[in-house]
Amino acid sequence: MNEIREWGIRVSTAVEQVFFGKHDEVEKILAAVLCRGHVLIEDVPGTGKTILARAVAASLGGSFARIQCTPDLMPADILGVSIYNPKKGEFSFRKGPIEAHIVLVDEVNRATPRTQSALLEAMAEEQISIDNTIRQLPRPFLILATENPVEFEGTYPLPEAQKDRFFMSLSIGYPPRDSEAQVLESQNRALDHPVKSVTAVSSPEEILRHQEKILSVHVSSELRGYILDLVDATRKSSLLRLGVSPRGSLALYRGSQALAALSGRDYVIPEDITCLIQPIFSKRVILKPEEVMKGMTDTLAVQRIAETVPVPIPGKTAHTGSVP
């Protein structure tokens, strides 16, 4: 797995030349890339969500497209449209921005539900259906979507079913003081944003090769049981109306394989799983209304539930504890 580890170091180094102080978040996005998963980046304005997505796209290589979501955006603006050519007397298809290796869907919650749903088939099956024709999307295919969780005017919240299509959700947060000082210094050196200087250090062919290779990373029976115990605990919790779906358990399983490979290992350790519980589970659960009234959040609920499930010690069998 040294090849994947070197790839991860190369890409993260390129990204962190313009996006400072968030190595763990960059590594989680690379894990999603290896798992053919999509990422929802959710945080307050000005924390660099779009810059992070652009830097990742530029460093990975391949084709890139950006979709700026607005209430008047239509599905055809994303998927493409057939246009009649009067000179030829026939229709020709003009492909949409969805047909790219990496697609940045900026402020996804500003698009209407009808337009948001145009992304679902692409996210789940890497294809789109239009004009009674199925069009395969490029491989690898990755959607990096951003949304602002604190501004609700003119927005359309993503339904839970659509959130479940994302492999993980990330909250970037404010940078550490020294990292923010680096931001000030880098912005002071040029008129253009430094992200424009990021060049590709990978290729689609290399990514496809690594995506196949991580499937051979070993996950012990104890750790498989740990993943199932975590999922089962969310389904039995008194805090939740809806627990984690089978898609969520598979995401945690594959994500732990990817993190292990990025560390140069061909086997998963408990830490590979525990650091992915929040980003993979938090948007896949629904709180009970009474818990929301008490001030409970999905993040806090997942944390409390995860604490009830003992982390297995290699070679020993784990048993679940009581579930809140």
Q: Which helix (H) or strand (E) holds 137?
A: none
Parallel/antiparallel/unpaired status of strands 39-42 and 142-147: parallel
Smallest CA-to-CA distance from 240 within 289, 174, 187, 167 is with 289
Question: What integer pLDDT is reported at residue 320 of this predicted model?
Answer: 43
Domain region containing 158? 2-211
Band of residue 88 on the pLDDT scale cut at 50, 70, 90: confident
Tell whether 109 and 66 lie within a shared domain: yes
CA 133 to chain centroid: 28
Tell whether 103 and 147 lie within a shared domain: yes
Tell whether 222 and 150 lie within a shared domain: no
Tell whether 34 and 116 lie within a shared domain: yes
**Exposed e or buried b per residue across 57-89, where buried means at least 16 C-beta atoms within 10 angstroms of its C-beta:** bbbbbbebbbbebeeebebebbbbeeeeeeeee
- Residue 290 placed within a domain: yes
Predicted confidence (pLDDT) at residue 316 exceeds the cutoff of 60: no
Of 103 and 195, more confident:
103
Tell whether 154 and 240 lie within a shared domain: no
Tell whether 168 and 273 lie within a shared domain: no
- Note the pLDDT tens digit of each residue in 130-175: 888 899 999 999 999 988 877 667 678 888 778 888 999 988 878 7
Question: What integer pLDDT is reported at residue 324 of this predicted model?
Answer: 63
Band of residue 89 on the pLDDT scale cut at 50, 70, 90: confident
**Exposed e or buried b per residue across 99-134, where buried means at least 16 C-beta atoms within 10 angstroms of its C-beta:** bbbbbbbbbbbbbeeebbebbebbbeeeebebeeee
Tell whether 262 and 179 lie within a shared domain: no
Tell whether 25 and 47 lie within a shared domain: yes
Q: How many domains does the chain have?
A: 2
Give 30-48 as a DSSP string.
Answer: HHHHHTT--EEEE--TTSS
199 SS3 class: coil
Tokens representing 185 are 């210094």
Tell whether 62 and 161 lie within a shared domain: yes
